[in-house]
Amino acid sequence: MLAFAHPWALLLLLLAAVPWLVPARQPVLWSHLGLLPADPASDRLARLLQLAAMLAWIAVTLALAGPYLPEATSTRIGRGAEIVLLLDRSRSMDQKFGPETNTLRSGDERIDDSKAKIAKRLIAEFSAGRPNDVFSMIDFTNVAIPTLDFTQKQAAVQAAIRAADVGRGLADTDIGHALQAAGERFSDRVYTGSRIVLLVSDGGGQIEPDLRKYLTQLYKRNRIALYWIYIRSYYSPPLTGPVDAPAGTPTPGPGAAAPTAEELKAAQDAADESIPERFLNKFFSGIGIPYHAYEAQNPQALKNAIDDVGRLEAHPITLTEVSPRRDLSPPLFVIAALLTALLAWAKGMERRTWQ
């Protein structure tokens, strides 16, 4: 629907009649006008020039009124998801995976880089291969840093991913409030299909009980699926399986009875509570939302995990596209300039006297 930024300027359209109120062509100086033959071609040309002057004025007036097409939204059904990319930018992500685990081959290209750089490169490929998804992005260290609101524009997504590579990460990591910021991204959005928080991090963290309760309610209410790609460093503990008991745990002496299953489970739970990554994995597994964790101990495993997420999340989704406001003034100014140039040329070619 056409609209005008300055509708008062349309009153100037009344002046478009001025070219028709003056003679079509000025009389030529001649000793006796009666001797001049009729010239219908010149009369028609004069009328065309009057029409050109009227159209030039109309074009200028409409351009000054600022015509535009307002912002519009369109809806379509696709296959994809709404994805929040939650990327860890702590200092540990600037390190490499570990001995003999930091090489990833892509064709004939050898990539030997930090965990952060490899993660961003693979996330960029992941997002580029999912044109129907709607992406948002948050970087986090000791605070959550929103870098991109939800969009389907791949140029913006790729720019946000590249921007995450600026500078070095900070030492501290607050993963709890980062997860809160990611979940709240969906709070004001109408549910249209699959929702994902894709957490890419090389470590976990303790989350206070009040925040754990809030995260559980938030992710359930917003119907969010959580995928954690745990970039496991060479000496980092696994998310599951047996681990050493925490420091300070008494060990049975020689000849003591073997620990019972309950004692072993209690010791394992104590170990899980003391290791942030295992604690976080256990918390995610028990809050009642779709959750999957991937352990990536080398670049190839990281690539396989991201590819697997891409295969899993391809459900029908309602996509809303916003077309920005479109200014229609420039072409009107061009038309007015061309018509004015035509009138100036015709004026220069006019003959007032005959020799």
Question: What mean pLDDT value characterizes the chain?
Answer: 77
- Give the model's confidence band at 25: pLDDT under 50 very low, under 70 low, under 90 confident, else very high: low
Residue 307 belongs to some domain of the structure: yes
* CATH for 304: 3.40.50.410
Domain count, the chain: 2
Question: Are the C-beta atoms of residues 230 and 292 closer than 8 Å to each other?
Answer: no
Same domain, 57 and 144: no
Same domain, 268 and 205: yes
Same domain, 315 and 304: yes
Burial category of 111 from C-beta neighbours within 10 Å (exposed 0-12, middle 13-18, buried 19 and up): middle
Query: pLDDT tens-digit profile of 295-329?
Result: 877 777 777 877 777 776 666 666 666 778 889 89
Query: pLDDT tens-digit profile of 61-98?
Result: 999 998 988 887 777 666 678 889 988 887 777 777 66
Same domain, 83 and 43: no
- Please give the average per-residue pLDDT across 249-275, as a whole number: 59
Same domain, 156 and 179: yes
| Range list of β-strands (E), 71-130 | 72-80, 82-88, 104-106, 109-111
* Strand pairing category for 291-296 and 315-323: unpaired
At 325, the amino acid letter reads: R
What pTM does this model have? 0.63
| Residue of 4, 39, 163 whose CA lies nearest to 89 | 163
Domain residues for 66?
Answer: 3-30+39-70+325-348
Query: pLDDT tens-digit profile of 124-178?
Result: 888 888 877 888 999 888 888 888 888 888 888 888 888 876 666 566 778 888 8
Residue 170 belongs to some domain of the structure: yes
| Helices (H), ranges, the chain | 40-64, 115-128, 154-163, 175-184, 209-221, 261-274, 276-285, 299-312, 329-348
Residue 256 belongs to some domain of the structure: no
10-19, 207-216, 307-316: range with lowest mean pLDDT: 307-316
> What pLDDT was estimated at residue 47?
85
